[in-house]
Amino acid sequence: MLSKKLICLLAACAVLSLSGCASFRNNEIAEVGKMPDVTQYANKPSVFVETHFFHGEPDQAKLEVLTLKDKVNTTVGRTLSESALFSRYSFDEKDRATADYVIRLDIYNHGNHALAAVAGFISGLTFTVIPAAATDNYTLEAKLLDGSGNLVSKSANKDSITTWIGLIFLPMVAATPEKAIFGTLENQLKAALKELVESGKLKYSVRDLQLRLLAG
């Protein structure tokens, strides 16, 4: 489920078959490259992950978009797996009690719906000769809780994507909103995870590794 402003523009694209639609990441957060190396630790923490996707401002959002949960979890799961920061991760509620930590991710999609609707209307009237754009903002709030449910850390970051419609964007139709949205969210999550590790909020242990080296 996309935001209202994005739906306005995509609907215009569907009606005007000669138009093109393309979405681009705005990269407000610098691209996170290599994640922190934790291979020196024998014991990595396990984590239960809880995700929520909302439409609306972070301090006002009431509508949770459940239809996106599977895609959000797929992106989060892939990012966690590739990061190699945890011994295991799970989205299954039954694993909450046995996990070392709980990470709650609240994602908020927000922006100026009215302005985007007007832009889409003008573009439609000109048969997309005049391009129109809608910017979708994404705020990611990450909370880290210990095994007892106590808050260990809380952080937030924001990024955005811009979707354009117009004849000049026909060659770029492969740049879909889905690619831009989940590419942006993946980078936001990596930024949040990197901050957690570098701040020392996640606890790792080298003890077992040291014992094995002494025994050898």
Q: What tens-digit pLDDT sequence spans the chain (216 residues)?
A: 455 555 554 554 444 444 567 888 999 999 998 999 999 998 999 999 999 999 989 988 678 999 999 999 999 999 999 999 999 999 999 999 999 999 999 999 997 553 344 344 333 433 444 456 788 899 999 999 999 999 999 999 999 998 887 644 444 455 688 899 999 999 999 999 999 999 999 999 875 444 444 444
pLDDT of residue 202: 92
pLDDT score at 114 = 39
In eight-state DSSP terms, residue 31 is P
Bridge partners, residue 140, by sequence: 107, 157
For the chain, give every domain's residue range. Answer: 4-30+37-215
Other CB atoms within a 10 A radius of the CB of residue 201 amount to 14
- For residues 132 and 13, give the distance between their C-alpha atoms in angstroms, rounded to a whole number: 11
* Contacting residues for 12 by C-beta, under 8 A, at least 6 apart: 19, 120, 123, 124, 128, 132, 165
According to the model, what pLDDT value does residue 117 have? 42
**Strands of 75-121, DSSP E:** 88-90, 101-110
Is residue 22 within 8 Å of 175, Cβ to Cβ?
A: yes
pLDDT of residue 4: 55
Return the structure tokens found at 99: 């996990």
Q: For residue 165, what pLDDT is reported?
A: 75
Other C-beta atoms within 10 Å of 192: how many?
Answer: 22
For residue 89, the model assigns a pLDDT of 98
pLDDT of residue 175: 67
Cα 211 versus chain centre, distance: 39
Give the whole-angstrom CA distance, residue 116 versus residue 151: 38
What is the per-residue pLDDT for 62? 74
Residue 191: both structure tokens together:
């930024």
The token pair at 117 is: 């609707």
Q: Token pair 């020392």 is at which residue?
A: 200
Instruction: Name which CATH class applies to 4-30+37-215.
Output: alpha beta
Identity (one letter) of the amino acid at 26? Answer: N
> CA–CA separation, 68 vs 51, rounded Å?
10
pLDDT in the model for residue 6: 52
How many whole angstroms from its chain centre is CA 28?
13
Residue 5's contacts (CB-CB under 8 Å, 6 or more residues apart) are: 111, 112, 113, 115, 116, 117, 120, 134, 136
Rounded to an integer, what is the distance from CA 34 to the centroid of its chain? 17
